[in-house]
């Protein structure tokens, strides 16, 4: 079956622009995670959804970051007024359970803020 | 929160030799430890995982060991092949009942493994 997909794969934004990143998880997966991966680093947790409920947003770096999953499947990560430090790969992962089992990652969206 | 340290940051081995990557974690409540392989520009892919009620797990050339007392776990790759070259990440998941908001993964900084033919 299809894996986790993300779009766009690459995004270039001018500083101050808003961006929206999309994640299509594996069908039926309850849990959805967003991670941020800076160059040469491991992924860092941003936020977690269980179905449509956002249960953990402790990793969001500022109030410019907002995520939603209104129908419990597709999720969107929105970054307002982008800054250069937002440049990173944004990874989405889904899991059939709570997340303490295999998390399947998408290919990521590489965001470059100029 | 959880903190995961990973060593070494780079590792070069000759084809056919073994490679060992070590990680330590800080939260004794963490109970799930996956290892991901990430090739350049690609998504992280799970290669093996272990739960805290198990001390060792093997899958063909790959094995993981866990020492809960010392709070460290290691990845062992035997008979390395050039296609094993990639960045490897260890991670730990802390259960929500211990105070974490979710079963998020805390990752190490990665080990770049190069297998020399």
**CB-CB neighbors (< 8 A) of B104 in chain A:** 33, 45, 48, 56, 59, 99
Chain-chain contact of A100 with B93 (C-beta, under 8 angstroms): yes
- Dump pLDDT digits (tens) for B20-32: 999 999 999 999 9
Q: Classify residue A7 as exposed, middle or buried by CB count within 10 Å of its CB (0-12, 13-18, 19+).
A: middle
What is the rounded average pLDDT for all residues in chain A? Answer: 95
What are B78-112's pLDDT values in tens digits? 999 999 999 999 999 988 777 777 889 999 999 99
Q: What is the CA radius of gyration of chain A?
A: 13
Of B46, B95, B106, the CB nearest to A100: B95
Q: Nearest chain B Cα to A53, which residue?
A: B102
Residue A18 vs residues A7, A88, A113, B12: alpha-carbon distances, Å: 15, 15, 10, 42
Contact list in B for residue A45 (CB cut-off 8 A) is 104-106
* Cβ <8 Å between A91 and B44: yes
Dihedral, A41, A42, A47, A52 alpha carbons, nearest 10: 130
Q: Is the pLDDT of residue A39 over 70?
A: yes
Nearest CA distance, A32 vs chain B (angstrom): 10
**Contact assessment for residue A94 and residue A33, using Cβ atoms and an 8 Å cutoff:** yes
Which pLDDT tens digit goes with each residue over A90-108? Answer: 999 999 988 778 999 999 9
- Strand B32-38 to B72-77 pairing: unpaired
Contacting residues for A103 by C-beta, under 8 A, at least 6 apart: A31, A33, A93, A94, A95, B34, B46, B105
Sign (positive or negative) of CA dihedral B38, B44, B47, B49: positive
Supply the pLDDT for residue A1. 58
Structural Rg of chain B based on CA atoms: 14
CB B38 within 8 A of CB B30: no
pLDDT attached to residue B114: 98
pLDDT the model gives residue A97: 82
């Amino acid at each position: 079956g299809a894996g986790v997909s993300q779009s766009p794969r690459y995004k270039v934004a001018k500083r101050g622009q808003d961006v929206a990143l999309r994640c299509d998880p594996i069908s039926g997966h309850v849990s959805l995670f967003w991670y941020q991966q800076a160059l040469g680093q491991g992924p860092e947790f941003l936020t977690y959804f269980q179905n449509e409920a956002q249960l953990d947003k402790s990793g969001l770096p500022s109030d410019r970051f907002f995520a939603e999953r209104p129908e419990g499947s597709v999720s969107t990560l929105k970054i307002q007024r982008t800054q250069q430090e937002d440049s990173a790969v944004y990874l989405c992962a889904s899991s059939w359970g709570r997340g303490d089992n295999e998390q399947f990652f998408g290919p990521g969206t590489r965001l470059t803020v100029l | 929160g959880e903190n995961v340290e990973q060593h070494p940051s780079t590792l070069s081995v000759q084809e056919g030799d073994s490679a060992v990557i070590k990680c330590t974690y800080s939260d004794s409540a963490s109970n799930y430890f996956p290892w991901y392989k990430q090739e350049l520009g690609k998504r992280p892919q799970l290669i093996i995982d272990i739960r805290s009620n198990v001390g060792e797990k093997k899958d063909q050339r790959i094995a993981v060991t866990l020492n809960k007392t010392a709070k460290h776990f290691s990845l062992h790759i035997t008979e390395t092949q050039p296609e094993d070259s990639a960045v490897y990440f260890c991670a730990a998941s802390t259960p929500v009942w211990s105070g974490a908001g979710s079963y998020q993964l805390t990752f190490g900084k990665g080990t770049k493994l190069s297998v020399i033919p």
